[in-house]
Amino acid sequence: MDIASFFHGAGLVLIFLGIATIIIAGIGLFRLPDLYLRASAVGTSAGLGVASIVLGALLMDFTWLNLLKAVIAVVAQLLTSAVGSMAIARTGYLNNSRPAEITHTDDLIRTRRDMFDSDAEPHR
């Protein structure tokens, strides 16, 4: 087996790993109970899936210019998915999306003035 076909096979494996990661992240959207679990688990798992597909494509067609493009694409993808997840979660918290019942500690709720009102619902 020569080196080119080895890289070709490794690239295919990475691409299919990335596809599997994205599919599992999609399943997670249905199975996880609240916004925050979905944002933290799915946002960045999907980022890893895309990064893995980009690296797989790079291995199958390696040039130095493609390496530069792949590095930029992976870094941009991971950064934007992290910032997007934070923005979504923060917006949800500010819009009174309560964490699921299994969330056992919530330090942030104590900083909210409206949750200290007597007529505010403590849950949902």
Partner 1 sequence: MSSTTSTALWPWRVVTFLVWYAKEFLLANARVTADVLRPRGRQKMHPAIIAVPAASRSEAEWALISSLITLTPGTLTLTISREHQILYIHGMFVDSREELVAEIQEMEDRMLGAMRRQPGDLTRPVEAPVVTPAEPSEDGED
Residues lying near partner 1 in the complex (CB under 8 A): 21, 24-25, 27-28, 31-32, 34, 36-37, 39-41, 43-45, 47-48, 78-79, 81-83, 85-86, 89-90, 93, 99-100, 102-113, 116-118
In this structure, the number of other CB atoms found within 10 A of the CB of residue 51 comes to 20
In the complex with partner 1, which residue's Cβ is closer, 3 or 123?
Answer: 123
Please give the Cα distance from 56 to 37 (Å, whole number): 28
Q: How far is the CB of 44 from partner 1 (least distance, A)?
A: 5
Kindly state the smallest distance separating residue 78's Cβ from partner 1, in Å: 6
> CB 34 → partner 1: shortest distance, Å?
8
The CA radius of gyration of the chain, in Å to the nearest whole number, is: 20
CB 98 within 8 A of CB 122: no
- Smallest separation (angstroms) from partner 1 to the CB of 21: 7
Q: Report whether 32 contacts 42 (CB < 8 A).
A: yes
